[in-house]
Chains A and B, each alone.
Chain A
Amino acid sequence: MFVQLLRKSILRRKSRFAMGVASVLIGAAVVTALFTVSLGVGDQVGQEFAKYGANLMLQPQSNTIQIGLPGVSIGSVTEQKYMNESDLWMIKTIEHRANVLGFAPFLYQVVTVGDGPNAQQAILAGTYFNKTIQIPQPASPQDHSEFSTGIADISSWWKVTGNWITDQNDTTSAMVGSNVAQKLNLTVGDSFRVSYAGAQNGTAATNAKELKVAGVVESGGPEDNQIFVNLPVAQDLSSRPGKVDAVQVSALCVRCPVADMASEIQGKIPGVQGTTITQLTNAEMSTLDKYQSMMVLVTAVALLASTMGIFTTMTANVAERRREIGLMKSIGAENRTIAALFLAEATLTGLIGGIAGFGVGIVLAQFIGLSVFSTTIPLRWEVLAVAIPVAIGVSLLASALPVRRATAVEPAIVLRGE
C-alpha cells in the first residue's frame, strides 16, 4: 500500500516532482562535473604548469651567478665551477624520479657573431634538445635504463619558426633567439660564424665555428637573446668538455615536494646545489588553491540552489496536500507514517535527480576539460558514489522542514472543512 500510495501520489503531481528532480539535478551535475574535473585534471594541471618551464635549478655549489630562467637576465659567465655532464643521469634515480618530467643542462659562453666591424656579442648556450641519456644504475629494476630529455620537454611553450634541432649529434645547427636573429638579420637557413675567445693552457686562444639557423626561438624571455646549440658544440667551442653550468629540471606534479627533490639531488650528485623556483611553485600552489576554493564555492552555491528548489517544491507539495494529510491522520495515520511518505518521495527525488545529474555532470566535465584544459576528462565512477548520497542528502535536508509541517497538520481540519 505504501509503494502504491507513493507511486500514485508522484504520478499525480508529475510536474511538481519533475521540478524537484530538476532542482536536485542542478546540484548533482555541478558536484559531478567539478569532482570529475578535480580528480581527472590533476595531472593535466601539473602538465599545464610544466609547460611554464622548470621549477628546479641545479648549479655548482659555489656558483652564485643566476642564469637561464624566464624573467631573469643572464650575466656574463666568469670563471666558475662546473657540474659534470656525466653525473646528470643520477637526477632520474632519486626517490621522486617519477616526478621528473625532464631536464636540460646548459653551458653558457659569450661569443662573437660575425667578423669585422659588424661583429656582435651574444650568449651561446649549449644544451640538450632531445637527447637520450643512459642510466647506468637505475634506482629500481623496473626503471628504464634510458631517458629521453631536453629543452623540447621543459620549454614546450617556445614558439619556433623553422625547426627544432632533433639530432643530438648535429654540430652545425643552431636555434637563434628572436632578438639575436633580428639584430644579426638572420633567418632560417642562414649561416653565421661564432667565435669564442678564452684562455687555453695559459695562453689566449680563439675557437670559431660555422653554424646554420635551424629555427628562430621566441619565448618572451631571456632565450630571445641567446643562441642554442647542442651541448658538445658549446663544450668544444669553449674547450670545456663534459662540463655544464646549470641544469633546469621540470618536476611534473601538483604540490610536488620540489624542495625535497632538490635535497635528494644534492645528496646524489656531490657539489651540486638545488634551488627551487619558489615563485613558480607558489604560483602553482596559489592557482590550485584558487581553483579548489572556486570549486568549493560553486558547489556550495549549486547545492544551496538545489536545497532552495526542493524546499520550495516540497513546501508547495505539503501545502497542496494538507487536507489529504489531515484525512490520513483522521483515519489512523501516525506522524511517522506521514513523514515516511514524504521522506520517501524526497529520497526518490534525490536518487533520480542524482543519477540524472551525474549524467549531465559528466557531459559538463567534458565541456570544462575541453574548453579549459583542452583535454577530455576520464569518467570517474567513484564520483557517482559521492553525487548520489549528496543528492539524496540535500533532498532530505531540504524536505525536513516541510515534512515537519506535514506532521503538524491537525486531523481536525477535515471536519472543520479547512
Chain B
Amino acid sequence: MDHALISLEKVTKVYGGGTRALNEVTLSFEKDEWTTIMGPSGSGKTTLLNIIGCLDLPTSGMVYIAGKEVSGAGQAALTRLRRENIGLIFQQYHLVPYLTALENVMLAQYYHGSPDETKAVAALKNVGLEHRFDYPPAHLSGGEQQRVCIARALVNEPAILLADEPTGNLDQTNGNMVLQLIQRLHEEGRAIVLVTHNPDISELGDRTIRIVDGSVDQDFKSGGDRNGE
C-alpha cells in the first residue's frame, strides 16, 4: 500500500438525502495497473470514480493520491491535485462546443498553467486527429470527439487516467479504436481506472473490481486476453 498510486481506506460516502453510495470501501490502485470497475447502475461506481478523481470528497475514511492524503483537502487543493495527477475521459466527451479540437486540448493546458500548442498538436496526432485540429466538436464524429477528450486528458501527462464508460456512446468500430488507444496509453505506463458495464472490456484490464450496493463485492485479476495470463 505504501507504493500504491491511489489508496482508499474505509471510504464512506453519504449524500445529502441519506443515500449511502459507498460503504467503508478499502482499495488501492498501483502504478501501471489497468483496473476495471463494474457493477449495476446505482452501485456506487461513479461515486468511487469521483473520489479517486478528486472531484468529490468522502464523508469518512482516508484517500491518498500519489502519497498525499486528500480527504481533508479544500476545493483549491483538490483542483490542484486533479490537474496535476489525473486525466478524465467521459462517456459524453464534454468538449466545449464553441472551441476547436485544438483549443479544447489547449484548455486543459491553460488551466494547468502550461499552454503549449506544439504539445497539444502532438496529443491530437497521438490520437489520430492530425486532420481535425480546427474542427469544432459539432463537426466531429462521436469517435473523434472521444479521441479529442482523450487527447485533452493526456496533454498534461497525468499519472492516472480515469475513464467513465468511454465507449458507452460509440459504435463498435469507434469503441474498439478508443479501447486500443487506451490500451496503448496503458502500455506506455499510465494507470487506468475504467468504469464500464461491458464485461468484454474488463478482460482488457489487469484487474476487475465489482461494486454492489456501495461495497466491494469482487476484486480479481483479469486481462487474460491481453497478457496471456
Contacts and interface: CB of A to CB of B under 8 A. Distances in A.
Given A331-B82, A331-B152, A335-B75, 5 more contacts: A1-B107, A331-B108, A332-B112, A333-B79, A410-B55
Interface stretch (B85-93, B126-134, B203-211): B85-93
B150 interface: no
B164 interface: yes
B55 A12 contact: no
A323 B94 contact: yes
Interface residues of A, number: 27
Given A1-B115, A412-B55, A332 B98 contact: no
Main secondary structure of the interface of A (DSSP, over half): helix
User: What are the 4 tightest A-B residue pairs by CB atom distance, in nearest-first order?
Assistant: A332-B83, A332-B111, A1-B110, A12-B98
A410 B55 CA distance: 8
Given A1-B107, A5-B107, A415-B46, A334 B79 contact: yes
Contacts of A331: 82-83, 88, 107-108, 111, 152
Contacts of B107: 1, 5, 328, 331
A411 B110 contact: no
A4 interface: yes
A5 B108 CA distance: 12
Interface in B80-106: 82-83, 88, 90-92, 94, 96-99, 103, 106
B82 A8 contact: no
Contacts of A412: 50, 55-56
Contacts of B112: 332
A303 to B, nearest CB: 31
B90 A414 contact: yes
A332 B79 contact: yes
Interface in B49-92: 49-50, 53, 55-56, 75-76, 79, 82-83, 88, 90-92
B84 to A, nearest CB: 8
Interface in A311-336: 323-324, 327-335
Given A5-B99, A417-B92, A330 B82 contact: yes
28 contacts: A1-B103, A1-B106, A1-B110, A2-B110, A4-B103, A8-B98, A9-B98, A324-B97, A328-B96, A328-B111, A329-B79, A330-B53, A330-B88, A331-B83, A331-B88, A331-B108, A332-B79, A332-B108, A332-B111, A332-B112, A335-B76, A410-B56, A414-B90, A415-B50, A415-B53, A415-B90, A416-B50, A417-B91
B67 to A, nearest CB: 20
A1 B112 CA distance: 12
A337 interface: yes
Interface residues of B, number: 31
Interface string B137-159: 00000000000000010001000
A11 interface: yes
Nearest to B84: A332
A324 B94 CA distance: 7
Nearest to A411: B55
A12, A324, A332, A416 interface centre (most CB from chain B within 10 Å): A332
Contacts of A323: 94
B44 to A, nearest CB: 12
A74 B63 CA distance: 100
Contact of B164 (A8, A11, A332, A415): A415
A415 B49 contact: yes
A319 to B, nearest CB: 16
A5 B107 CA distance: 9
Contacts of A1: 103, 106-107, 110, 115
Contacts of B82: 330-332, 411
Interface string A75-107: 000000000000000000000000000000000
Contacts of B97: 12, 324
A414 B94 contact: yes
B106 to A, nearest CB: 6
Interface in A2-53: 2, 4-5, 8-9, 11-12
Contacts of B164: 415
Contacts of B103: 1, 4, 8
B43 to A, nearest CB: 14
Interface in B174-196: none
A333 B99 CA distance: 16
A416 B152 CA distance: 20
Nearest to B56: A412
Nearest to B106: A1
Contact of B94 (A2, A5, A8, A327): A327
A22 to B, nearest CB: 22
Contact of A8 (B75, B79, B99, B156): B99
A139 to B, nearest CB: 70
B110 A327 contact: no
B92 A333 contact: no
Nearest to B46: A415
A411 B53 CA distance: 10
A329 B83 CA distance: 9
Interface in A355-375: none
Nearest to A12: B98
Contacts of B156: 332
Contacts of B79: 329, 332-334, 411
B16 to A, nearest CB: 12
A294 to B, nearest CB: 45
Contacts of A9: 98
Contacts of B110: 1-2, 5
Nearest to A416: B46
Nearest to A336: B76
A384 B62 CA distance: 58
Nearest to A335: B75
A323 B90 CA distance: 12
